[in-house]
Amino acid sequence: MRILTRTEEVILAAVWKLHDNAYGVSVNEYINKKTGLDWKFGSIYTPLGRLVEKGLLRTIKGEPSPERGGRRKIFFQLTKEGKKALLEIQKLNSVLWQDMPSLETR
């Protein structure tokens, strides 16, 4: 089992949730909204690149658009390995927190 960092977990979960609309800006906005924190673009793009290098994400080039000056959006998609890693960390989190005494009452 390869254990993901918390940042990797959050980014992979965002890509999975956003599905066909997972590109840098949308991933950043989703994470900011869900965490209530201000994740800077660099804190998203650098790990996205590493996740691609590790084979957990793949990139897909979108069509050029006039709104972007003819540039293409780069979309991200989980690979088979990325889905497996995300499932493993989900199971690990579940096991770790199972039967845990409440933090609020102690």
Query: Both tokens of residue 89?
Result: 């960390």
Reduced to 3 states (helix: H, G, I; strand: E, B; else coil), residue 60 is strand
Name the residue ranges covered by the structural domains of the chain.
6-96
Query: What's the pTM value of the predicted model, to 2 decimals?
Result: 0.87
Which pLDDT belongs to residue 11? 97
When mean pLDDT is compared across 36-45, 53-62, 74-83, the lowest value belongs to 36-45
Assigned architecture for domain 6-96: Orthogonal Bundle (1.10)
What is the band of 74 on the pLDDT scale with cuts at 50, 70, 90? Answer: very high
Residues 18, 73 contacting (CB under 8 angstroms): no
Which pLDDT belongs to residue 42? 84
Tell me the per-residue pLDDT of 22-32, one tens digit each, with 9 for 90 and over: 999 999 999 99
